[in-house]
């Protein structure tokens, strides 16, 4: 990991300092600010990205569309909109949905200990991606039903923060649920929500995740 400085936060997401990225991701971790952005097409399919095998944590695992960390002067939305062209070679306007806290170890190598802002955006299904080396290895589109079926077989094939973000979609602000109901309707259903919850419990058996108000 680079020596990039991340924003340390308290349990209410108040900034309390800066710390080197690597130190934030040691096994005990330090609670810091992060984001995940979920891009859908108008049919409700989600763009998934596979983390490069060079990544220290969760290498080769499927993630949401873009995940990274805000810089000191950025909001969740501006940081995600800045990072998207860097990782995928595309731009997209995003809306903020919610944020959540979670802490999960990765083997004995490190951990994620984050308050994670979640954003949503819409792109065309013909969008061409340009992947950054050492970050993303593969991209694919997935429907809610396809993910539901795969979670039954491969719950560990997906990053825990992505699963949490999807499981919490129904906790988005009402204005956002209304604005994006044409894509979110298939993702907010009891059957999929249960499968997401069960998959999260496999990776976070001690229930260390929560919605942050």
Environment class of residue 70 by beta-carbon count within 10 Å: exposed (0-12), middle (13-18) or buried (19+)? Answer: buried
Alpha-carbon distance of 115 to 134, in angstroms, equals: 24
56 and 26 Cβ atoms separated by less than 8 Å: no
DSSP string, 35-66: EEEEEE-TTS-EEEEEEPTT-SSSTT-EE-SE
Q: Which residue has the tokens 């096994």?
A: 27
Q: Catalytic: 114?
A: yes
DSSP string, 106-172: ETTTEEEEEEEEEEEEE--TTPPP-PPTTTEEEEEEE-HHHHHHHHTT-GGGB-HHHHHHHHTGGGS
Q: Is the dihedral of CA 79, 13, 169, 173 positive or negative?
A: negative
Can you give the C-alpha Rg of the chain in angstroms? Answer: 16
Question: 114, 138, 173, 198: which is the annotated catalytic residue?
Answer: 114
Active site residues: 114
């Amino acid at each position: 990991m680079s020596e990039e400085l991340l924003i340390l936060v308290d349990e209410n997401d108040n900034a309390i300092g800066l710390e080197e990225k690597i130190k934030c991701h040691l096994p005990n971790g330090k609670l810091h600010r992060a984001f995940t952005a979920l891009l859908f097409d108008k049919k409700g399919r989600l763009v998934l990205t596979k983390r490069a095998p060079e990544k220290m944590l969760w290498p080769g695992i499927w993630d949401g569309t873009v995940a990274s960390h805000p810089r000191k002067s950025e909001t969740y939305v501006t940081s995600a909109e800045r990072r998207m062209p860097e990782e995928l070679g595309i731009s997209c306007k995003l809306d903020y949905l919610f944020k959540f806290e979670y802490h999960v170890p990765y083997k004995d190598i490190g951990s994620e200990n984050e308050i994670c802002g979640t954003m949503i955006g819409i792109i065309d299904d013909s969008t061409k991606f340009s992947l950054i080396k050492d970050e993303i290895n593969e991209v694919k589109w997935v429907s809610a039903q396809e993910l539901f079926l795969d979670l039954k077989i491969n719950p560990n094939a997906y990053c825990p923060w992505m699963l949490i973000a999807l499981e919490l979609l129904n906790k988005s602000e009402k204005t956002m649920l209304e604005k994006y109901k044409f894509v979110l309707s298939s993702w907010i259903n009891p059957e999929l929500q249960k499968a997401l919850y069960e998959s999260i419990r496999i990776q976070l058996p001690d229930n260390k995740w929560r919605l942050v108000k």
